Structure formats: structure tokens, C-alpha cells
Structure 1
Amino acid sequence: MQFHLSFPVEPLASAIQYKDELLLLGSCFAEEIGEKLQEHRFNTVINPHGILYNPLSITKALTSYLDGKIYTKEDLFQHNDSWNSWDHHSRFSALTPEAALEAINTAHAAAARSIENADWLILTLGSAHAHVLKENSRIVGNCHKVPAASFYKRLLTVDEVVTALDNVMHRLFFRNRKINILFTVSPVRYIRDGVVENNLSKAILLQAVHHLVNKFNRLFYFPAYELVIDDLRDYRFYKDDLVHPNAAAVNYVWEQVVKSCIHPNSQPLLHTIAEINRAAHHRPFNPESSEHQQFLRTYAGKVKQIMAEHPQLNMEELLAYFSPTV
């Protein structure tokens, strides 16, 4: 009997290569995959606004990069001794407005540069539910632990999501004529919204994304949501909260990303870097032994060879790690 349903993931017509610049925005699952790309030394900028869940907050962030917006104190608010931005994740919050603005505008400048030159924009949509400030009907990217009575929650419509993404796509393609866009829908289950409500939210995101992918030539879809929900399809692939995919699930999705999204010409290098990463996690019984010193020299040689052949890759940290200590 067959107890596992797998399905083929179509390879991207224009796949990701090591020479490409990547910009990733969206939910916490975007960070999981983004960190995998960074570990394998792809040139990535990950969530310059911090984690964002709803597509309207994501498109607002993209628009701010295209506009070259500079945030000021007027864009912040104070709550519980912390200065925050409604557009940003709480990782940008600080005890002074100056510190918050320094972090926000530094990340924003990097994103603005990236969006002009990126070969790939990877967007992971988390939820079609949006939190709205009652006082001014503003959709927020993060609630910053402000009392729930200050917000109401509403479900975005397919038309709202399509319109917002469509508008920013047109602007983006005008500014960066080489960029490709890869959509995913997060497999994180937002059960706090309710089980039925979460499924409805994901359905809205899926319908909106596929409408756009069918409209534009340079838009693609990667089925991260389906791989976890329909392929793995088991709570043993979730963390204890039964909401977030665990390490095994993330690794499984990453394997499919490598197979279908990474260019075949870049895969040998990726696998070599993966081997070096595994070696860097090796913990020797006797660090000063001749055997371990030879181990370090062997991998230092591999790192130097990659640095010579691919000088654009950031390998200095690994080279320092493998430098013999004796």
C-alpha cells in the first residue's frame, strides 16, 4: 500500500544561479528558505522590513523601496517605552527613535539598492487576514503587542490582493527589466485565526498568486504550501505548536527548491558548499591532533579553490574556521 503522496515539482524555466542577486520578502517561512540560501552562499537580502504576513503590507514595503522612502520620527509611535513602526517587524523597535530609524533606514537603503539590481524577488505570502487600526483604518504589518482592542481583523479579497500585487509588479518591471518573481504561499498554519478561516485565507492567496503567474511571463510559483500540506501531510512534520513546519519539513522543502529552482550548472557548487558546511559543524575529539589538523587543511584547500573560482562568494568566515590552529 502507498502511504505517501508525492507529486512532481516543475523546474523553473529560468532557474536561480550563483551569479544572481536575490531579494526575499514575506512570512517567517521566507526566512527559513532565505537562511538556507545564505548558508549555501547565495547573494541574498532577506526581509528588510522584517517578517510580514499579509500581501498588502508586503506590497507597501516594495513600494517604499521603489520610492526611496526615508523613514522619520513621524513614521514611528511609542508603546511601552519602545519606538515602533507599523510597517515593520518588532526587530526594528528600539528604546529611542534614533536607534529605530537607524536600523530601519539602513535596511531600507540595502533593499532599495537590491530591488534595482535583483535577478530574483521571492515573495512568501503568509495570510490574507490583515489587522487594521481602528483609529485610522490603516493596515499594519505588525501589532507590536498593542492591545487587541486597538485593531479589527478583516479578510482581504482576491481582488484586493491581485490589484495591489499587479500595481507593484508593473512598477517593478519598469524599473528592473531583468527581474524574475517567484511566489510561494507559506505552509505555516495560522490556527489563531481559526482552522476554517486559515484555509479560506490560503485559498485567497493561492487564487491571487495563480492569477498573476498566468498573466506575467516572469512570474513563477513554487508549491511550498502543497509540499507540506499535501505531500508530507502529517503533524510529525510540525513543531510542538502544530503551526510551524519543523526542521525535517523545511529540509524537505529545501531539497525540492534545489531540484526545481536552482540551475543545474550551479548545483555542483551548491553540493560542495553543503559538504563544507557539514564539515564546519564537525566537533573533533582532539582539536590539536595531527588528524584534525589535516582535516582543517583539506577543507581550507576546498574553500580557497571555491574563492579562486567564484570570488563573488563570501567564504572568508569558513576559511578562517578551517585555518589550522597548530
Structure 2
Amino acid sequence: MKFIADITIKGPETPIEYRDPIFLIGSCFTEHIGNKLQDLKFNIVQNPHGILFDPISVCNSLNSYIERSHYNDDHLILLNELWQSWSHHSKFSGTNKAEVLRLINESQDRANAHLKTARWLIITLGSAFSYRLVDSESPVANCHRAPSQWFRKHMCTIDEIVTALDNTLYRLFHFNPDLKIIFTISPVRHLRDGVIDNNRSKARLLESVHHLVNKFNRLYYFPAYELVIDVLRDYRFYDIDLAHPNYQATEFVLDAFRKHYISGPSQDIMEQIQQIVNARRHKPFQPQTQAHRQFLHNFAVKAHQLQQEHPYLLLQDEIEFFKAS
């Protein structure tokens, strides 16, 4: 008897290697993937604008990295005692305007440099809903808890989504001819939109993305959404809010990503690095014992040897930690 539906996942002909720079952008589920890759010492940059949900905000942000756009005083507003940008997540907000601009523009420079050399771009779309300022009709990436009457909520049509992404893709391929792109749709359910409108929103994203994947030969679709919604298909795989996939669901999705999108040799390295990362996080009951000192020495040697074999790995912090401890 089968308890889980089968799903076919088609990975790229040339999968991700450890030495490949990776750029990630999009919804909060982007950061589940990005944080895991970062923990395992892949060379990544993720969400230089902070978390973004809708395709218009994602495209505007990517275009700004291509252009290496810099922000100035005119791009900030003073709201709730903080300087904020309509284009950025609130993690950039602050009481010091100059500091906010410095952080934003440094992030722009890092994004431009990394996107120029990236081999992979992972785009995770969360919602087809876009919020527009009533006064100007300008789309915003984050409402920063401003009064709701300041905004108009708009569900993007499939044509709008495809046009915005299509234009950005052409610019990306001109900017970085070696770039390959993986699209995912976030399995996070936007219940504030209501169950029906959440499903309509996800459907528009799915249709738009598959239209583009069928158009370009270096676009891929990883079914994070289907793995949670159709394969796991149970509320026990969601957090208490019934909207966000829980740890088990996230690990299930990440394991499928690893199997189908990362090369075999790189998967072997991932397992070795996971052991080193776990060893660094280990909290000993008796840190002064000879056994613990030997434990640290063994992992210092292991990390050093792995770094020597693969110089592109970023293991210096772990090596220094084991030696210092």
C-alpha cells in the first residue's frame, strides 16, 4: 500500500557543484534553502533586499543589481520613527538615515558583484499579490506596517507576471551569459489572503513559471510547492500557524533538492561538512577532559584536510574554532 504520491523531479543536466557561486532571491522559503547551503559552506548571496514575496518586487530588485543602482535620501521615508525603504525588508530600517543608506548600498554592491559571477540563480515566488501605493501606483516590496489605506492590493495577472519575469530574464542573460535559473514556488500558505485567493495566487505563479521554463533551455523548476502540498499533504507537516511548513517538511524538501540538483561528488562533500558543522555546535559537558581535546583535534585535522583538498571551501572559521578551543 502506498501512502505518499509519486512525483517526478527532473534535475539539470549539469547539476550544482560546490565551486559554483549561487544567488538566491524571493520569499521566506528562499532562506530555508539559502541558510542550509550557507551552513554547508556553499558560496551564496541571498535576498540582498531582504525577503520578497511577489514577482514584481523580485524583478525590480534583480534589475537594480544588474544596474548597480544606489539609493539616496529620496528613496527613504520616515515611518514609525524609523527610516524605511519601500523596496526593502524592514531588517534594513533604522533610526540613522545615513546608516540605513550605507547598509542598503553595500548590499547593492555585493549583489551586483555576486550576480555577475553566479552560476545559479534560485528564485522562489511566494504570492501573486502586489501592493501599490495609492498616491503613485508604485509597487512596494514591504508595507512596513503603514496604514492600510495607503495601499491598493492587486493580484497580478499571468500576463503581468510573465512580462515582468521575461524582461528581467533577458537582462540577466545579457548581464551574466553563464547564469542558470531555478524557479520554485513557496509552499508557505498565505492564509491572510484567504484559502481561495491563496490558491488563485499560487496557480498564477505556477502557470507563469512553467510558461517561462518551457521557453528557455536554462531555466528549471524545482517542485518545493508540490512536495509539501501534494506529497506530504498533511497538516502535521505545518507549524502551529497552519501556514509555514515545519522542520520535517522543510528537511524533506531540502533532501529532494540535494538529490536532484546537486552533483554526487558535492553531496559527498556536504556530508563531510555537515559532520564538521555539527562538531562545532557540540556542547560538551566536560570541556577540560582529554577526550574532548582529542575530539577537537580530530575535527581540526579533518577540516584542514578537507580545506586542502577543496581550496574553494570556506572552512577557515571552523579550523580556527577547533584549534582555539
Category of TM-score, reference length = shorter chain: over 0.9
Q: Which residue of 2 aligns with 1:245?
A: 245
The letter of the residue matching 2:292 is H
Q: 2:12 matched to which residue of 1?
A: 12
Q: Is this contact kept in 2: 1:71–1:105, CA < 8 A?
A: yes
Following superposition, the deviation at residue 274 of structure 1 comes to: 1.2
Query: Which residue of structure 1 lines up, in the alignment, with residue 183 of structure 2?
Result: 183
Aligned counterparts of 1:166 and 1:240: Cα–Cα separation in 2: 37
Residue 105 (structure 1) shift: 0.3
Measured in 2, the distance between the counterparts of 1:93 and 1:283 equals 35
**Partners in 2 of 1:243 and 1:83 — Cα distance?**
30
Q: CA deviation at 1:290?
A: 1.1
Deviations 1:281-326 (A, max 9, x none): 222221111111111111111100111112222112211222264x
Q: Does 1:236 align with 2:259?
A: no
Corresponding residue number in structure 1 for 2:36: 36
% identical aligned pairs: 46
**More off after superposition, 5-14 vs 303-312:** 5-14
Q: Deviations over 1:65-85 (max 9, x none)?
A: 111211001011110111111
- Give TM-score scaled by structure 2 length: 0.98
1:199-210 superposed matches below 5 A? 199-210=199-210
Q: Which residue is equivalent to 2:108? A: 108
Per the alignment, residue 142 of structure 1 pairs with: 142
Matches within 5 A, 1:1-326: 1-323=1-323, 325=325
Q: TM-score, normalised by structure 1?
A: 0.97
Counterparts of 1:130 and 1:6, CA distance in 2: 34
* RMSD between aligned residues: 1.1
Distance 2:323 2:243 in 1: 41
For 1:323 and 1:228, locate their aligned partners in 2 and report how far apart those are by CA, in whole Å. Answer: 42
Q: Return 310-319 or 248-257, whichever deviates more.
A: 310-319
CA distance in 2, matches of 1:105, 1:11: 35
Specify the SS of the correspondent of 2:198: helix
Gap runs ≥5 in structure 1? none
Q: Quick one: distance in 1 between partners of 2:73 and 2:324?
A: 49
The 10-residue stretch of structure 1 (314-323 or 138-147) with the greater mean CA deviation from structure 2 = 314-323
Distance (whole Å) between structure 1 residues aligned to residue 188 and residue 305 of structure 2: 39
Return the letter of the residue paired with 1:191: L
Shift of 1:46: 0.6
Amino acid at match of 2:91: R
In 2, Cα distance between equivalents of 1:148 and 1:248: 35
Do the aligned residues in 1 keep the contact of 2:127 with 2:201 (CA within 8 Å)?
Answer: yes
Alignment-mate amino acid for residue 69 of structure 1? S
AA aligned to 1:308 is Q
| Counterpart secondary structure, 2:215 | coil
Does the residue aligned with 1:239 lie in a helix, a strand or coil? coil
Q: Is the 8 A contact 2:11 2:220 kept in 1?
A: no
Number of corresponding residues: 325
Q: Name the aligned partner's letter for residue 74 of structure 1.
A: D
Q: Are the equivalent residues in 1 in contact too, given 2:128–2:155 (CA < 8 A)?
A: yes
- What is the alpha-carbon distance in structure 2 between the residues aligned to residue 208 and residue 252 of structure 1? 25
Cα deviations by residue, 1:141-180 (Å, 9 ceiling, x for unpaired): 0000101111111100001000001001111111211000
Query: Unmatched 5+ residue regions in structure 2?
Result: none
- Asked if the contact 2:86–2:141 (Cα under 8 Å) also holds between the matched residues in 1, the reply is yes
Greater shift, 111-120 or 9-18, is seen at 9-18
Deviation at residue 3 of structure 1 after TM alignment:
2.4
Q: Distance in 1 between matches of 2:202 and 2:81?
A: 36
User: In structure 2, what residue type is equivalent to 1:145?
Assistant: R
Asked if structure 1 preserves the Cα contact closer than 8 Å seen for 2:116 and 2:175, the reply is yes
Contact 1:293 1:324 in 2 (8 A): no
Which SS does the other structure have where 1:323 is aligned? helix
What displacement does 1:13 show? 1.5
